[in-house]
Amino acid sequence: MLDIKMIYNNEKGIVLPLGLIFLAIIAILGTTAVIITTTDLKIGSNYRASEQAFYAAEAGIEEARARLRVSSTDANYAGDLSPYDEWWSAYILTSDSWQTSDDPDHNGSYNNYIPTSFSHTNTTITANSLQTDISYFVKIRHKREYDAEQTGHTISSPQYYDGDGDTGTNPAATPGNIIYYGYKDNSSTTVEQFTTTTANPPNASPVQIITSHGMSGGSFKIIEIESSRPCGPPVVSALYGKSVGGNGTVSIVGDDNCDPTNSLPAVAYYDEETLSEGGNVTLTSSAGATTELSNPIDVAQHVNNLTLEATVILTADQTGYSVGSSSDYKIVYCDATVLSPDSQLDLMNLTGYGTLVVKGDLYFGGNLNWKGLIIASGNVDFFGGAGGQNVTGAVLANSMSSLQGTVNITYDSCEITNAQNNYSQTTLIWKESLN
């Protein structure tokens, strides 16, 4: 008779099923580990590609900012050529296989230039980026009224000063006027965004919308900024200061040497003005010889703002000094308050192009030929030599300005623009857009 109890207690052959069970468990664990590892690798790869695409988009933004900063005569310039065109736009491409369909916001109503070193108005698709190791394409265009309205601008909740005489809304097909960043008129001392009927307003530049598409390993990132060139101090006249001296032949001209339709007073001042009776002082301008501002220009603050922009730093007085060129405007800075023995920067026989920024007092001796801006937080003294002292642009002195000998100061908006083009682009808005 079969013993059931012996059958249940018989363990012969148990190793095989147990081994199969353990083998199955190990196989499941191995498969799970492979799946997890593969997933992690894919996540890591996707994250890395996403990060690389993001940084590629950032690189595109920086190239655009750099190419907007240089002079309009520079081969690498990627901006609009003044007077500004409402329908101007430009692309920076790292690949000549790019197509207009790659940009979901491409608009055929715009110029859509692809600027090269041979032509700033080229429209043939070509790789025009300054590098090819990183993949991106960038579009630059002027901000228009429609753009502001899409982000909430209304009459009751303004994002900009609507100075073009039309406060109505604007459809996408006719997006309205360019929005500028700077000083809205010749008496303004506050930087703001505004529209105007002036084709090329002084002391302001268009707000640029820069959209960069970065690509890496199948990932795409889009970064968009609103940017503009900082304007520095407001230029309200050929010379801003508290006094004008004589004892020589002094000519200050406020009529624009670049654009005859855009003139400023010869001299602007706040609270106090003294015209020396000695010598021969001539103030000329269709906008008036002098004007008194209702608010002072904070020249000292503008000097501080431009300190970090300096491309040349002076640490001592200079004689026979030359800086910059007609194709390379510089930002020259000196802290004259630390100079010995007189805490004053002395410049003898100077030739230069750009913006001369001085913290403290500034003295010019001998001959002077400067194209651009001269800004000092203290006094500015001109003592012209036999060849005379000539400034084509504008001069701003925080306090007194003394002129002796032969001195000619002529307002020139083009030279001021050339000088300001070297300032870093100011980012007004930054955002990462959804793909």
The 10s digit of each residue's pLDDT in 337-377 is 999 888 999 999 999 999 999 999 999 999 999 999 999 99
> How much is the pLDDT for 37?
67
Distance CA 80, CA 206 (A): 9
Give the pTM: 0.74
Residues 289 and 164 in one domain: no
Please indicate, yes or no, if residue 21 is contained in any of the structural domains.
no
Please indicate, yes or no, if residue 400 is contained in any of the structural domains.
yes
Report the residue count for the chain: 435
> How much is the pLDDT for 40?
60
State the number of CA atoms in the 13 A half-sphere of 97 facing the CB. 3
Strand partners, 372: 354, 393
Please indicate, yes or no, if residue 32 is contained in any of the structural domains.
no
Residues 345 and 262 in one domain: yes
Please indicate, yes or no, if residue 110 is contained in any of the structural domains.
yes
Where is 122: in which H helix or E strand?
none
Residues 251 and 308 in one domain: yes
Distance CA 279, CA 246 (A): 5
Cα–Cα distance list, 423 to 16, 142, 156, 188 (Å): 81, 18, 34, 20
Residues 221 and 346 in one domain: no
Distance CA 114, CA 407 (A): 44
Distance CA 417, CA 72 (A): 10
Please indicate, yes or no, if residue 167 is contained in any of the structural domains.
yes
Distance CA 420, CA 70 (A): 9
Please indicate, yes or no, if residue 202 is contained in any of the structural domains.
yes
Cβ-proximal residues to 62 (8 Å cutoff; 6+ apart), any chain: none
If pLDDT is split at 50, 70 and 90, which confidence band does 171 have? Answer: very high
State the number of CA atoms in the 13 A half-sphere of 301 facing the CB. 7
Neighbours of 363 (CB within 10 A): 20
Please indicate, yes or no, if residue 33 is contained in any of the structural domains.
no
Contact 337, 313 (CB under 8 A): no
Q: Which domain holds residue 384?
A: 239-420
Residues 180 and 250 in one domain: no
Residues 293 and 366 in one domain: yes
In this structure, what token pair is assigned to residue 393? 């642009």
Residues 100 and 217 in one domain: yes
> 205, 229, 253 — which closes off a domain?
229
Cα–Cα distance list, 85 to 25, 81, 112, 259, 369 (Å): 72, 8, 12, 17, 33
Residues 213 and 359 in one domain: no
Distance CA 374, CA 368 (A): 12
Number of domains in the chain: 2
If pLDDT is split at 50, 70 and 90, which confidence band does 402 have? Answer: confident
> 229, 247, 277 — which closes off a domain?
229
If pLDDT is split at 50, 70 and 90, which confidence band does 23 have? Answer: confident
Strand partners, 409: 252, 391
Residues 334 and 211 in one domain: no
In this structure, what token pair is assigned to residue 42? 């894919």
> How much is the pLDDT for 224?
97
> 199, 229, 259 — which closes off a domain?
229
Residues 223 and 246 in one domain: no
- Nearest-CA neighbor of 311 among 272, 357, 351? 357
More confident residue, 427 or 201: 427
